[in-house]
């Protein structure tokens, strides 16, 4: 374990001792101290969908680096970028027409915001700049992407740097199971801001870190589609987590009753073997720029470089040839049921939700089975810590200051996890939750 005092690295949390990982194989990670961890979260950030140490991907990266590793998108295009764009649109998102490759999810979302803005400017509607998104979301750490969430705990103390986008409450079982209240708030925001100033609605079709495994109810999607047609804003799905098969289809949009104009992807695209993300758009979005300014002058140094794109191609081939999208689609529902069953007796688990290999468990106060757990218990940290002691990696989220969500845990295993490995993840997680439940009850009875 490495603490802030033992390192030259500037760590994220200065009070946390970090296990030092030296290698990984499949769904297992090994630390320098010889500790083995079962990875139920694809490296921790829902990235390593092919597991760790995949020799085919490593070989593709090596071969590409020997040919040409880097050239700048401003001066050149290159074979891996061209082939990945073609394959991605052919295999994974045939409804999309163009793709811009970047290095990470925040960059992909900011590229989407610039593209959306440029679309409206080029069409002669420069007053459209504002974006509406669900408050309980995560779209990245850069200021443009950070402005898209409504979570004040993430935005402070940077509020002054962030654009004034607008947010609606999440339509969860707690506040709005039908989605009606979210639509009413959407209407209210459209009305007060002026619908002619709204550039886009941005959301995760299935949420990850902010509301693990949550999707809005069907009625919400239909209402959103109706408002898009009425008011002329674009819809962008942030599929940085859900893209590339995580929910059982190439993109979660394919399970949603509306077609987004723009999609962003990341994480599983490079699968942890290279930083790679993408912004995809439909033909009419591309056409607005093609018939307009003919310029989309947004770029980062590593955009579309040969090495990450060659990795992306190898990942796409692996997902296709090994039937991994089908695997997630077919195995996902049973995995969720197994998790539900294993946590069925727990009085602190209110809901298990999600699709494919993107599942979430939401914790509540066992005294009424409904309220959020008191903040001071820090149940999220307790779950992660206890799971870790059981040799399991999961990722938990703390309750939010606005009261929209409580402590929750996300499970997002690699698509290559065997049935036995998935079973082991469920067992270890249930054991960890049972231990947390005992600790929570004892703390609550002491507090009484
Ligand atoms: N969008 C979603 C849904 C995410 O979960 C994340 C990261 O977790 C991002 C965007 C940002 O991606 P990155 O950290 O690669 O910038």
pLDDT of 448 higher than 80: no
Ligand 1 pocket, residue 110 CB under 6 Å: no
pLDDT of 5 higher than 90: yes
Environment class of 418 (CB within 10 Å of its CB; exposed 0-12, middle 13-18, buried 19+) = exposed
pTM above 0.95, yes or no: yes
Ligand 1 center from residue 230 Cα (angstroms): 30
pLDDT in tens, 312-348: 999 999 999 999 999 999 999 999 999 999 999 999 9
pLDDT in tens, 154-191: 999 999 999 999 999 999 888 899 999 999 999 999 99
Residues 277 and 212 in one domain: yes
pLDDT in tens, 216-258: 999 999 999 999 999 999 999 999 999 999 999 999 999 999 9
Ligand 1 pocket, residue 138 CB under 6 Å: yes
Residues 43 and 127 in one domain: no
Ligand 1 pocket, residue 204 CB under 6 Å: yes
Residues 196 and 135 in one domain: yes
pLDDT confidence of residue 165? 97
Task: Please state the rounded mean pLDDT for residues 352-371.
Answer: 97
Measured from the Cβ of residue 235, the count of other Cβ atoms closer than 10 Å reads 22
Ligand 1 center from residue 66 Cα (angstroms): 30
Residues 65 and 201 in one domain: yes
Total domain count for the chain? 2
Ligand 1 center from residue 275 Cα (angstroms): 12
Ligand 1 center from residue 104 Cα (angstroms): 7
Residues 32 and 75 in one domain: no
- Output the average pLDDT for the chain: 96
Whether residue 24 contacts residue 375, with contact meaning beta carbons closer than 8 Å, is answered with: no
Task: Please state the rounded mean pLDDT for residues 73-100.
Answer: 98
- CA neighbor of 140 nearest in space, from 259, 266, 281, 14: 266
Ligand 1 pocket, residue 241 CB under 6 Å: yes
Ligand 1 pocket, residue 237 CB under 6 Å: no
Task: Please state the rounded mean pLDDT for residues 420-429.
Answer: 98
Quote the domain boundaries for residue 240.
Answer: 56-321
Q: How confident is the model at residue 94 (pLDDT cuts 50, 70, 90)?
A: very high
pLDDT confidence of residue 376? 92
The β-bridge partners of 408 are 362, 397
pLDDT confidence of residue 174? 86
pLDDT of 390 higher than 70: yes
pLDDT of 387 higher than 80: yes
**What is the CATH number for 395?**
3.90.1150.10
Ligand 1 center from residue 448 Cα (angstroms): 40
């Amino acid at each position: 374990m490495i603490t802030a005092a033992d390192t030259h690295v500037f760590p994220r949390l200065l009070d946390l001792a970090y296990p030092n990982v030296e290698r990984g194989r499949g769904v297992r990670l090994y630390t320098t101290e010889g500790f083995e961890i079962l990875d139920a979260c694809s490296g921790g950030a829902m990235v390593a969908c092919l597991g760790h140490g995949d020799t085919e991907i490593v070989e593709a990266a090596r071969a590409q680096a020997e040919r040409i590793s880097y050239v700048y998108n401003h001066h050149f295009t290159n074979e891996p970028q061209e082939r990945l764009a073609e394959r991605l649109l052919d295999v994974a998102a045939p409804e999309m027409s163009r793709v811009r490759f970047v290095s990470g999810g925040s960059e992909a979302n900011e590229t989407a915001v610039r593209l959306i803005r440029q679309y409206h400017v080029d069409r002669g509607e420069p007053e459209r700049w504002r974006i509406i998104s669900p408050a309980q979301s995560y779209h990245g750490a850069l200021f443009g992407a950070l402005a898209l969430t409504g979570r004040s705990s993430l935005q402070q103390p940077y509020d002054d740097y962030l654009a004034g986008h607008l947010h609606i409450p999440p339509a969860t079982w707690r506040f709005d199971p039908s989605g009606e209240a979210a639509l009413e708030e959407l209407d209210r925001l459209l009305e007060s801001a002026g619908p002619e100033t709204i550039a886009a609605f941005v959301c995760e079709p299935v949420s990850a870190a902010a509301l693990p495994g949550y999707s809005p109810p069907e009625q919400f999607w239909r209402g959103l589609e109706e408002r898009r047609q009425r008011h002329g804003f674009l819809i962008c799905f942030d599929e940085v987590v859900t893209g590339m098969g995580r929910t059982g289809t190439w993109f979660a949009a394919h399970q949603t009753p509306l077609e987004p104009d723009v999609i962003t992807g990341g994480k599983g695209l490079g699968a942890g073997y290279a930083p790679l993300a993408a912004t995809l758009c439909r033909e009419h979005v591309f056409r607005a720029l093609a018939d307009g300014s003919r310029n989309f002058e947004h770029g980062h140094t590593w955009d579309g470089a040969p090495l990450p794109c060659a990795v992306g191609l190898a990942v796409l081939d692996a997902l296709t040839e090994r039937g991994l999208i089908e695997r997630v689609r077919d195995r996902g529902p049973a995995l969720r049921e197994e998790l539900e069953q294993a946590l069925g007796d727990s009085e602190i688990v209110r809901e298990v939700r999600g699709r494919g290999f993107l599942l979430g468990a939401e914790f509540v106060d066992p005294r009424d089975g409904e309220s959020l757990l008191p903040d001071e218990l820090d149940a999220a940290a307790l779950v992660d810590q206890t799971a870790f002691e059981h040799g399991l990696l999961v990722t938990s989220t703390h309750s939010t200051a606005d009261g929209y969500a409580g402590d929750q845990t996300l499970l997002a295993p690699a698509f290559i996890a065997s049935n036995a490995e998935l079973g082991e993840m469920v067992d270890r997680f249930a054991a960890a939750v049972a231990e947390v439940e005992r600790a929570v009850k004892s703390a609550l009875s002491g507090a009484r």
